């Protein structure tokens, strides 16, 4: 987990580049509060998800015949575990991104963040600024871009699910993505 903190620092310090877009004036307190609310939504989803997964595990254990079915049992356990793992990873990432959210606004580093997102994911500055103008916070921009890349889904579709009330953990769990892949995609933004 220390690597996420280090990565957050790298992003917030960023390198100075010429020709930056000017980010819209934002309310750092509101963006940070929204990031915290998003974390609460993901946490609530995880509580429900864990209860459902536990019930499925109980049912699987009751039906399991270990002799000769080890591979099948491991496959079924993996199928139950992987979406939950992606959801947990998403909540952990949200925690670090909430800190980044605050640092970007308080440190006046939104222009550097725009440059990184444009460089890493090939967006245009206009696209990023349009999302910010719509009130989409940095956490959601980064999460939707990373999840879109690893799940091969349009970012607009992911943001629509989010705007309809799904948490980022719930959205991550609904696609067949591995937690390591998702974390690796987000990590790209923080690497130089």
Nearest CA among 153, 117, 122 for reference residue 137: 117
Find tokens 């970007």 and name the residue. Answer: 104
In a domain, 96, yes or no: yes
- For the chain, report the end-to-end CA distance as a whole number of angstroms: 19
Query: With contact defined as beta carbons under 8 Å apart, do 8 and 190 qualify?
Result: yes
Q: Would the pTM of this model clear 0.75, i.e. be above it?
A: no
User: Is the four-CA dihedral 150, 97, 139, 107 of positive or negative sign?
Assistant: negative
Going residue by residue through the chain, which has 192 residues, state the pLDDT in tens, using 9 for 90 and above. 444 444 444 444 443 333 344 444 555 577 777 777 877 887 787 778 778 878 887 787 777 776 667 777 778 887 877 888 888 888 888 888 888 887 877 777 888 888 999 999 999 999 999 998 998 988 899 999 999 999 999 999 999 999 999 999 899 888 878 878 888 898 898 886
Whether residue 19 lies inside any domain: the answer is no
Task: Tell me if 101 sits within 8 A of 35, measured CB to CB.
Answer: yes
CB 80 within 8 Å of CB 56: yes
Tokens of 13: 């310090």
Contact 175, 147 (CB under 8 A): yes
DSSP state of 18: S
**Is residue 18 one of the residues assigned to a domain?**
no
Does residue 121 form part of some domain?
Answer: yes
Q: What total number of domains does the chain contain?
A: 1
Query: Would residue 94 count as lying in a domain?
Result: yes
- Domain membership of residue 4 (yes or no) is no
Domain encompassing residue 186: 28-190
């Amino acid at each position: 987990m220390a690597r996420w903190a280090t990565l957050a620092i790298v992003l917030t310090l960023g390198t100075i580049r010429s020709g930056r877009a000017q980010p819209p004036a934002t309310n750092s307190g509101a963006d940070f509060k929204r990031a915290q609310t998003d974390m609460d939504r993901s946490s609530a989803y995880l509580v429900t998800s864990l209860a459902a997964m536990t019930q499925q595990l109980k049912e699987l254990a009751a039906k399991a015949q270990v002799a000769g079915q080890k591979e099948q049992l491991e496959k079924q356990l993996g199928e139950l575990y992987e979406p939950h793992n992606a959801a947990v990873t998403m909540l952990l990432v949200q925690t670090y991104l909430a800190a980044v959210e605050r640092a970007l606004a308080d440190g006046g580093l939104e222009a550097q963040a725009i440059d990184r997102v444009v460089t890493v994911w090939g967006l245009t500055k206009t696209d990023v600024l349009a999302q910010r103008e719509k009130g989409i916070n940095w956490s959601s921009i980064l999460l939707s871009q990373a999840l879109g890349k690893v799940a091969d889904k349009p970012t607009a579709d992911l943001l629509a699910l989010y705007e309809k009330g799904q948490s980022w953990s719930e959205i991550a769990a609904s696609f067949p993505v591995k937690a390591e892949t998702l974390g690796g995609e987000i990590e790209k933004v923080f690497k130089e």
